[in-house]
């Protein structure tokens, strides 16, 4: 097989050399006037029958039958059959066409017609080789089913697997529908730095780099939050950003070290306003992209039409772990409960941290339908306003679908004195070995001292949203170029 493969690759290069000697080098062609896509022709056959069209794409199949042949041309939207006859394109061009290979990119001009079997096709009057494929497509021997190869060679994956292309077309539609939704509500799209001195706004370990021009160490951002809040201070009342963030963490079906986050901030509202906005946005995106507010994911039908459930973290732990947290008075009590439930914790974890750990272990997996889990402990929420009636908890929610965290939102902390104390607590955690803890951002504190209005903010993981909307089992299935370990490692 290896020998045959090498012979095939050698033959393709020889064919290219012959074309170049004949003055028919495909690589000198700079354009082709493509008038229609395959699907457009099929959907508008009655209008286009007998008319001349030009299609272009990759030849995925070829059957030579003496003086007439058939081939299949695959373009962005689908594929269409071309009927190529010697008498229509000429003896010389037909001889060349017979030597073209599956995988070559061609342009076909001709009349739209139906074959005897009723297949809509193009009767070629000319066929132009636009690019010579010097490799063979993987399906030729074994099919492109190996996931590692699919992720590493996404270009080949997109050629061979139509559903993969559809996933990424849908991803683009999801992002554009989010933009439309927010733009229609008066939000302003902005851009903030990726290279930062202080990577704050989330609990995550950053990537570090060095900027030669300033001889200064910088970090890649882990969140969009602190810069967007600066803009709220500056009077931009509704802002959002869709962009890459980078977290130095592990790889699994839901995590990639670089991923797309959408964060928005709105002045003069709170986390209840963010819940209402989130419900409306998810319904809008589902309807725009899938044409329905009911979306199938795995074995479940996710219903975005029903009001999203709203439950506090304390009530969720009571419901799913059977623990009445109102009876837990101290960190020692919390640790005793965790021991009983076999939930692991670290020495640095306080009462609120342990509540969160129990929630993650016992409740998350049950939250299949869209659910807002509200009122987190203060220990895990350094940028959030306290609940006035119970300062152990904050005005925060996370939205869950299919047992996954999909969004994280706050009534934003705008008290600079309180914020400084929270940063101090984070610094202490960092010193105690928590690599994901935040450090003090003096410029951000200065912005808060200038004055930030009451504000609601939320962050959405775009990749997980795309997974849900496309029924994709792993985050790598919705990232065009996921992070992969080098083959030579």
Residue 295 pLDDT: 97
Residues 105 and 37 in one domain: yes
Question: What was the pLDDT predicted at 76?
Answer: 95
Claim to verify: residue 10 and residue 113 sit in the same structural domain: yes
User: CA–CA separation, 246 vs 452, rounded Å?
Assistant: 27
- 335 in a structural domain: no
Q: Average pLDDT, stretch 270-279?
A: 97
Contact 243, 261 (CB under 8 A): yes
Same domain, 246 and 189: yes
For 123-162, write each residue's pLDDT tens digit.
Answer: 999 999 999 999 998 864 445 567 888 899 999 999 999 9
| 81 phi, psi to nearest 5 deg | -85, 140
Q: 451: left (phi > 0), else alpha (psi -120 to 50), else beta?
A: left
Does 384 score more than 80 pLDDT?
yes
Is there a domain that residue 338 lies in? Answer: no
The answer to the question of residue 364 being in a domain is: no
Between CA 459 and CA 264 the distance in angstroms is 7
User: Is 19 found in the same domain as 106?
Assistant: yes
Token output for 158: 């997109």
Q: Please give the Cα distance from 150 to 157 (Å, whole number).
A: 5
Co-location of 47 and 110 in the same domain: yes
Domain shared by 113 and 184, yes or no: no
- 214 and 293 both lie in a single domain: yes
Q: Give the residue from 136, 170, 189 where a domain finishes.
A: 136
Query: Could you tell me how many helices (H) and strands (E) the chain has, helices first?
Result: 16, 20
Q: Is the pLDDT of residue 43 over 50?
A: yes
Residues 6 and 95 placed together within one structural domain of the fold:
yes
Pick 485 or 246 by higher pLDDT.
246
Phi then psi for residue 185, to 5 deg, are -100, 15
What range does the domain containing 124 cover? 2-136
pLDDT class of 168 with cuts at 50, 70, 90: very high
Closest CA to 302 of 174, 397, 404: 404
Task: Give the pLDDT confidence score for residue 489 in this predicted structure.
Answer: 65
pLDDT in tens, 182-199: 999 999 999 999 999 999
* Residues ≥6 apart with Cβ < 8 Å to 132: 12, 15, 16, 19, 26, 27, 101, 104
pLDDT at 140: 46
Whether 379 and 287 share a structural domain: yes
In angstroms, the CA 96 to CA 40 distance is 28
Is residue 377 over pLDDT 90?
yes
| Intra-chain end-to-end CA distance of the chain, in Å | 27
Residue 330 in domain: no
Section 469-479 average pLDDT: 96
Determine the pLDDT at residue 127. 98
Residue 405 annotated as part of some ligand binding site:
yes
Domain membership flag for residue 144: no
Distance CA 280, CA 344 (A): 37
In a domain, 319, yes or no: no
pLDDT given at position 214: 96
206 and 278 in a single domain? The answer is: yes
* Dist CA 417 CA 415 (whole Å): 6
Q: What average pLDDT does the segment 229-235 reach?
A: 98
Q: What is the mean pLDDT of residues 290-301?
A: 97
Question: In whole angstroms, what separates CA 24 from the centre of its chain?
Answer: 42
User: Considering the domain boundaries, does residue 194 fall inside one?
Assistant: yes
Computed over every residue of the chain, the mean pLDDT equals: 94
User: Where do we find the tokens 């992720």?
Assistant: 151
The pLDDT of residue 3 is: 58
Query: Which pTM was predicted?
Result: 0.92
Question: In terms of DSSP bridges, do strands 216-220 and 195-196 run parallel, antiparallel, or are they unpaired?
Answer: antiparallel
pLDDT at 141: 41
What pLDDT, on a 0 to 100 scale, did the predictor assign at position 2? 56
Average pLDDT of span 248-270: 95
Same domain, 7 and 102: yes
Whole-number Å distance between alpha carbons of 256 and 266: 28
Please give the full DSSP string across 279-339, using - where no structure is assigned. HHHHHHHHHHHHSSSEEEETTEEEESSSPPEEEEHHHHHHHHH---GGG--SHHHHHHHHH
Q: Is 225 annotated as a binding residue?
A: no
Of the residues 136, 168, 185, which one is the last residue of a structural domain? 136
CA–CA dist 333, 39 (Å, integer):
65
The full length of the chain comes to 489
Q: Exposure pattern of 359-391 as b/e (b: 16+ CB <10 Å)?
A: bebbbbeebbbbbbbbbbbbbbbbbbbbbeeee
The CATH number that applies at residue 248 is 3.30.930.10
Q: How many domains does the chain have?
A: 2
CA distances to 87, 445, 465 from 105, rounded to whole Å, are 22, 57, 34
- The verdict on 187 and 111 lying in the same domain is no
pLDDT score for 202: 84
- Beta bridge partners of residue 242, listed in sequence order: 262
Query: What CATH number corresponds to the domain at position 14?
Result: 2.40.50.140
What is the per-residue pLDDT across 412-468, written as a single tens digit (0 to 9) for each? 999 999 999 989 988 888 888 888 888 899 999 999 999 999 999 999 999 999 999
Tens of pLDDT, residue by residue over 354-374, are: 999 999 999 999 999 999 999
Last residue of a domain, one of 101, 136, 171: 136
Structure tokens given for 23: 């003055």
Residue 40 φ then ψ, to 5°:
-60, -40
Tens digits of per-residue pLDDT, 315-354?
999 999 999 999 999 999 999 999 999 999 999 899 999 9
Q: Is 404 domain-assigned?
A: yes
Q: What is the mean pLDDT of residues 391-407?
A: 97
Contacts of 356-359 with CB under 8 Å at 24 or more apart are: 356/313, 356/380, 358/317, 358/321, 358/323, 359/313, 359/316, 359/317, 359/321
Percent of the chain at pLDDT exceeding 90: 86
């Amino acid at each position: 097989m290896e020998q045959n493969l090498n012979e095939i690759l050698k033959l393709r290069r020889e064919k290219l050399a012959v074309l170049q000697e004949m003055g028919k080098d495909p690589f000198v062609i700079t354009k082709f006037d493509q008038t229609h896509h395959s699907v457009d022709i099929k959907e508008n056959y009655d209008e286009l029958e007998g008319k001349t069209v030009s299609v272009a794409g990759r030849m995925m199949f070829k059957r030579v039958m003496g003086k007439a042949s058939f081939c299949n041309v695959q373009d962005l939207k689908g594929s269409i059959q071309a009927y190529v006859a010697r008498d229509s394109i000429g003896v010389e061009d037909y001889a060349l066409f017979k030597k073209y290979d599956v995988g070559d990119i061609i342009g076909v001009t001709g009349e739209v017609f139906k074959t005897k079997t009723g297949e809509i096709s193009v009767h070629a009057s000319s066929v132009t080789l636009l690019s010579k494929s010097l490799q063979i497509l993987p399906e030729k021997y074994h099919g492109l089913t190996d996931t590692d190869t699919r992720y590493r060679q996404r270009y080949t994956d997109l050629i061979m697997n139509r559903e993969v292309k559809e996933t990424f077309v849908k991803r683009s539609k999801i992002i554009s529908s989010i933009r439309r939704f927010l733009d229609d509500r008066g939000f302003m799209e902005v851009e903030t730095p990726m290279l930062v001195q202080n990577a704050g706004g989330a609990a995550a370990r950053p990537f570090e780099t060095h900027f030669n021009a300033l001889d200064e160490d910088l970090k890649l951002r882990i969140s969009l939050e602190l810069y967007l809040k600066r803009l709220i201070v500056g009077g931009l009342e509704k802002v959002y950003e869709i962009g890459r963030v980078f977290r130095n963490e592990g790889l699994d079906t839901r995590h990639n070290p670089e991923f797309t986050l959408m964060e928005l901030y709105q002045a003069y509202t709170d986390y209840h306003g963010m819940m209402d906005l989130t419900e409306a946005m998810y319904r809008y995106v589902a309807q725009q992209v899938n044409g329905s507010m009911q979306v199938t994911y795995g074995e479940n039908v996710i219903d975005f039409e029903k009001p999203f459930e709203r439950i506090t973290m304390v009530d969720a732990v009571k419901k799913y772990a059977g623990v009445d947290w109102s009876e837990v008075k101290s960190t020692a009590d919390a640790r005793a409960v965790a021991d009983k439930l076999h939930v692991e914790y670290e020495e640095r974890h306080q009462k609120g941290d342990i509540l969160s750990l129990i929630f993650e272990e016992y409740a998350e997996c049950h939250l299949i339908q869209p659910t807002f889990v509200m009122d987190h402990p203060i220990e895990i929420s350094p940028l959030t306003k306290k609940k006035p009636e119970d300062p152990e908890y904050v005005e925060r929610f996370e939205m869950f679908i299919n047992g996954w965290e999909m969004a994280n939102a706050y009534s934003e902390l705008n008290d600079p004195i309180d914020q400084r104390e929270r940063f101090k607590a984070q610094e202490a955690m960092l010193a105690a070995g928590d690599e994901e803890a935040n450090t003090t951002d003096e410029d951000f504190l200065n912005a808060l001292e200038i004055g930030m209005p009451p504000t609601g903010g939320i962050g959405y993981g775009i990749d997980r949203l795309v997974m849900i909307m496309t029924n994709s089992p792993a985050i790598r299935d919705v990232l065009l170029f996921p992070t992969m370990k080098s083959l030579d490692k």
